[in-house]
Structure 1
Amino acid sequence: MDRRQFLELATAGAASSLLVLPAYGQSKSSRIVIVSESNSNTLDVHTPGANRASYGLCMMTYDRLIQFGTKILPNGVPSYDYDKLEPQLAESWEIAPDNSAVVFKLKQDLKFHDGAPITARDVKWSFDRFVSVGGFPQRQMEQVSLTDVNQFEVVDERTFKIKLLKRDKLTLPSLAIVVPGVYNSELCKSHATTADPWALEFTKINSAGSGAYKVESFKPDEQIILTRFADWKGGTLPKQERALYRSVPAAGTRRALVERADADVASDLPPRDVADIAAAKKIKIESAPQANTLRYLALSTITKPFDDVRVRQAIAYAIPYEKVIESAVYGRAKPMFGASTDAPRDASWPQPFPYSHDPDKAKALLADAGLAGGFETKLYFDAGAATVDEPAALIIQDALGKLGVKLTIEKIPDFFARRSQKNWPMAIDVFGAWFDGADFYFRWLWHGQNTVFNVASYKNPEMDKLLNAARQAREGAEYESIAKQFIKLAMTEVPYIPLYQPVLDVAVQQDVNGYVYMFHRQVDARTLAKA
């Protein structure tokens, strides 16, 4: 027995012993088992430090006034539809003729999980909360012009009004993302304190929602068990009575569990495993390009020699993009290189940049910058993403070495905590925006407001002016013209070099249907159904 065979047997053995499901007296077909690298670390996305898994969980356990509809992607995979807004708690809404306000009428007989009625007062309290609580929720909604408790008004028990501060086409869609969930205000207030007026400590480990699923058991490092809420009126009742989300850190174990049919769905699988499973054709691989998302190489514009645009362009020409995609993700990504020199031709985003692997151009640009002999620098990446980022880093290191650039690679275990320090000359990072459209994405990376994601520390008054103008236009010919200008500026200044647009791959058993790609990139049990 060789080492590989031993590891495969050990992994299979671990899988068979790991997933011990409690007996509920129901058939296996009544529950859905989903395994991922990690579970939600909180029951409330408003709490500090809420991880990405919590976004998916809270979409199922809390309701919003409205929700996104669905569409079919070109490859046949269902996806959320940013352009289609549908009722959830609201049965209807109306925008004032002068665009000064939008008024929502709630459905009748809405209930929270504890049976308490949902009223416009709960909506008002919940909206007051996300603009006051600080951190991610408040920053997120500030980006869509929801900033002040005085914007929110209870008209009557079933009528809620939002005063619109400015013309912003993202305000309404923002009500369908995870942040503006509606909380049981009386329940939360009964657990509030002077030090914790929004009851964050309570909602971190207790759900106060009305969503399609109730939380039956919450053990973040092990398993989260959800039970269907029979009185849910936010949409079509889920087919599965229970959804079990199991935390399985080892990728090999996740693969073994789904291959042995001990799990119905597996996410966060390495690209090599996905390629193998897809080739075997025994399990479905649901794939979708991650909407408005890029994995990129950031170059610090405040660190020499990357403060020189010629050096940044040289690096962009030096990267062998095809090798990066093949080595890092086994070709399972959308290329973002090779556009014509007259790009951009439209305002779509993400779109390829006008760079391809051209060492001669890279050498010429370095020579023009006075660096014909090369230089020394460091490249950082997230240790948690080593499966894809380390192969990419090694290929970039090799390519730059041929130009005389000596690159030292640093793997960072606390990448997210250290990102805000912005002291890395080069870094591989990833960012995905919840809203379609270039201007919203650009505000997080290219705007002079210098968010934590702007690891290149890029600032340009011209870029800021264009992005501020786009925020007001955001549609039609005027927006198209502005967007093409700021995309062109990004391609020229290139503080961020797109490596590829990632693809989200999820392994699903053949007898499970209804998977829908969601903007938060987590598996949503509400639509899943076992044959």
Structure 2
Amino acid sequence: MKRRQLIKNSLGLMTGLTLAQTLKACGGSSPDSSPPADSQAGSSGGSSTAPSTLTMVHGGGFPNSLDLHRVGTNRPAYGVSWVLYDRLMTFGKKQLPDGSVSYDYTILEPELAESWEIAADGLSATFKLRDAVFHDGKPVTAADVKWSFDRAVSIGGFPTFQMKAGALESPDQFEVVDEKTFKVKFLRPDKLTLIDLAVPIPIVINSELVKPHLTDDDPWGTEWLNNNDAGGGAYQLGEFKPNERLTLTRFEDWKSGPLPQIATVTLLNVPEAGNRRALLERGDIDINFTLSEKDEKELSESDQFNIVSTPIENCLYSMDIHSNPTLNGEENPLGNVKVRQAIAYALPYEAILATAFYGQAIPLSGGSTTPQSLDWPQPSPYKTDLDMAKKLLAESPYPDGFTTTIAFNMGTKEWAEPTVILIQEALAKIGIMAEIEKVPDANFRSVLVEKSRPMIMNDFGGWLNYPDYFFFYAYHGQDATFNGGSYKNPTMDGYIEAALASKPGDPVYEESVKSFIELAWQEVPRVPLVQPTLAVAMQPNIQGYQYWFHRQLDFRQLAKT
């Protein structure tokens, strides 16, 4: 079946008037010791926009908040927070086989901390802060760092879970030594602790700017930070009009790295992939980030733009299946493992890859029944087999099928909508009638948190490139945001925790990783579909692009010639 027969949508190009209105509205080292701070200046770097400005569009939704710690903040907001705020450390970089540049999680480099030292017993790290200031001119102090870290481990939800992934769990672990010295005490030796300080969550917030806005109902100032800038990063907030545009301006007093070449960044909200492509082809924007798979394929066949496509490590697109016996107070057929296995055998993997992804993804079906390596993701043993699907469903308490729903994020509709339509058709062949729920992008993170949908399309990717980190978020019984199937199994938890407590090369680590992968395939609370790629199209005069694990653009590294 052709993709265009699946969806009646309006991906045609904008009219010239609409394009003009849109643009007019928007005008205006080793982990144990720190290496020397990088002092190299960025390279010189448009389209029809000025050399010191960058205008871009973004697939996958639009930032719905300026507060990364707020419940429901979506992935596009990560990129804004990444440049509004500093972290103590950042990652180094490496060249990939295709010549493109990626972050390197094995190398930690200074950001707000100009140096750090690990204690002789390996149970603490002491950071020396730069002589830096926030956007309002207030000096950055260790007290700000502590307040920010206390917030991250205490506010709950995703930020607290992320900190816990690195064994950062209590405000008692954070100490102000003096105004420019900050200490982190480790609960135990853990391979994730230091690198967890370089992910988006442990931002450093101007605590004195936020404190006047604290209330008994909002002790961490989330309502105020939702729409306001309290950072000291390379860019400061210019204008934020939700669901329309966001503008950032370079912070001239930034001290935590080379001053960016781009002075002003404007992010436009253009939901339709075809319209984003039209803006790029007209030269009205500099970057089309997170290309649809269709545009990735077609634009790659021309030499008009710079195209970079990178497999997203530690990431898979999946259909998550709610695995609890009850859901919303009612009996849940999906809580039966044979039902979930039947669904996994019913899915049309090859059609999904060809139709929804235009072949621009790595297939994850038809693998061995036992893990062949520690690589993640790797192909699961499931492949399309309707006879097996019908047999398994007949062995379940629901041999005649049932009705259910599949929810997906409209911010990812380019791939998610054709995928769920194909899945809907396939499940009907074995007696499972699924209605489709379209969730607005701004609400989808809240839906993930609620755990209230029977089946949901998920695109989780682990920030820290270890399989146990992915499983801690996606399969552990603590039921993190990205455990879309709300899966809980003490045996699985034991395997994950054993892997987290060990390191690659340790026999315990290898045994634990293979065990939790195999159990995930047996229990199938999520059905792996593909490993995606992250693709970006840039005008020829854009330089400095680098792939990041958080799947967002780092404006600090970009330049226009």
Q: Same fold (TM over 0.5)?
A: yes
- Give a deviation string over 1:364-416, Cα, whole Å, max 9, x none: 44455587x652332412151433223222323333444x3242332233554
- Distance in 2 between the 1:526 and 1:102 partners? 27
Match of 1:357 in 2: 384
Match of 1:335 in 2: 363
Contact 2:49–2:284 (CA<8 Å) still a contact in 1?
no
Identity score, percent: 45
Task: Give the Å deviation of 1:44.
Answer: 2.5
Contact 2:407–2:453 (CA<8 Å) still a contact in 1?
no
Match of 2:488 in 1: 459
- Distance in 2 between the 1:139 and 1:317 partners? 33
- Give a deviation string over 1:314-343, Cα, whole Å, max 9, x none: 3323323111111111111111112223x3
Q: 1:135 to 1:282 in 2, by over 3 A?
A: same
Aligned residues: 521
Task: Give the Å deviation of 1:119.
Answer: 2.2
Runs ≥4 residues deviating over 6 A: none
Match of 1:254 in 2: 276
Q: 1:316 to 1:74 in 2, by over 3 A?
A: farther
Task: Give the Å deviation of 1:57.
Answer: 0.7
Q: 1:457 to 1:92 in 2, by over 3 A?
A: same
Match of 1:227 in 2: 249
Task: Give the Å deviation of 1:62.
Answer: 0.9
Match of 1:236 in 2: 258
Counterpart AA for 1:486: F
Q: 1:140 to 1:275 in 2, by over 3 A?
A: same
Contact 1:16–1:257 (CA<8 Å) still a contact in 2?
no
Q: How does 1:470-485 map to 2 (within 5 A)?
A: 470-477=499-506, 478-485=508-515
| Higher mean C-alpha deviation, range 119-128 or range 158-167 | 119-128
- Distance in 2 between the 1:453 and 1:210 partners? 29
TM-score by length of 2: 0.85
Q: 1:8 to 1:471 in 2, by over 3 A?
A: closer
Q: 1:221 to 1:462 in 2, by over 3 A?
A: closer
2:66 matches 1:43: yes
Contact 1:378–1:408 (CA<8 Å) still a contact in 2?
yes
Q: How does 1:43-442 map to 2 (within 5 A)?
A: 43-107=66-130, 109-193=131-215, 196-301=218-323, 302=325, 305-341=333-369, 343-369=370-396, 374-382=400-408, 384=410, 385-402=412-429, 404-413=430-439, 415-420=444-449, 422-442=451-471
Match of 1:493 in 2: 523
Q: 1:494 to 1:197 in 2, by over 3 A?
A: closer
Q: 1:12 to 1:71 in 2, by over 3 A?
A: farther
- Distance in 2 between the 1:150 and 1:470 partners? 26
SS at match of 1:34: strand
- Distance in 1 between the 2:222 and 2:305 partners? 40
SS at match of 1:288: strand
Contact 2:320–2:527 (CA<8 Å) still a contact in 1?
yes
- Distance in 1 between the 2:464 and 2:169 partners? 18
SS at match of 1:398: helix
Q: 1:423 to 1:8 in 2, by over 3 A?
A: closer
| Higher mean C-alpha deviation, range 324-333 or range 70-79 | 70-79
- Distance in 2 between the 1:455 and 1:244 partners? 33
- Distance in 2 between the 1:461 and 1:132 partners? 25
Contact 1:251–1:268 (CA<8 Å) still a contact in 2?
no
- Distance in 1 between the 2:220 and 2:487 partners? 36
Task: Give the Å deviation of 1:265.
Answer: 0.6
- Distance in 2 between the 1:463 and 1:203 partners? 37
Task: Give the Å deviation of 1:27.
Answer: 7.5
- Give a deviation string over 1:147-181, Cα, whole Å, max 9, x none: 21111111122221111112222111111111211
Task: Give the Å deviation of 1:194.
Answer: 5.3
Match of 2:476 in 1: 447
Task: Give the Å deviation of 1:210.
Answer: 1.6
Q: 1:407 to 1:160 in 2, by over 3 A?
A: same
- Distance in 2 between the 1:154 and 1:438 partners? 34
- Distance in 2 between the 1:411 and 1:188 partners? 38
SS at match of 2:498: helix
- Give a deviation string over 1:256-282, Cα, whole Å, max 9, x none: 111111100112443223323223331
Match of 2:15 in 1: 11
Q: 1:242 to 1:307 in 2, by over 3 A?
A: closer
- Distance in 1 between the 2:122 and 2:390 partners? 54
- Distance in 2 between the 1:10 and 1:394 partners? 26
* Alignment gaps of 5+ in structure 2: 1-7, 29-47, 326-330
- Distance in 2 between the 1:16 and 1:27 partners? 14
SS at match of 1:409: strand
- Distance in 1 between the 2:14 and 2:551 partners? 30
Counterpart AA for 1:409: E
- Distance in 1 between the 2:221 and 2:425 partners? 52
Q: CA RMSD in A?
A: 2.7
- Distance in 1 between the 2:158 and 2:455 partners? 26
Task: Give the Å deviation of 1:481.
Answer: 1.8
Contact 1:131–1:147 (CA<8 Å) still a contact in 2?
yes
Q: 1:143 to 1:405 in 2, by over 3 A?
A: same
2:536 matches 1:506: yes
SS at match of 1:19: helix
Counterpart AA for 2:464: F
Match of 1:469 in 2: 498
SS at match of 1:243: strand
Counterpart AA for 1:357: T
Q: 1:157 to 1:359 in 2, by over 3 A?
A: same
Q: 1:399 to 1:204 in 2, by over 3 A?
A: closer
SS at match of 2:459: strand
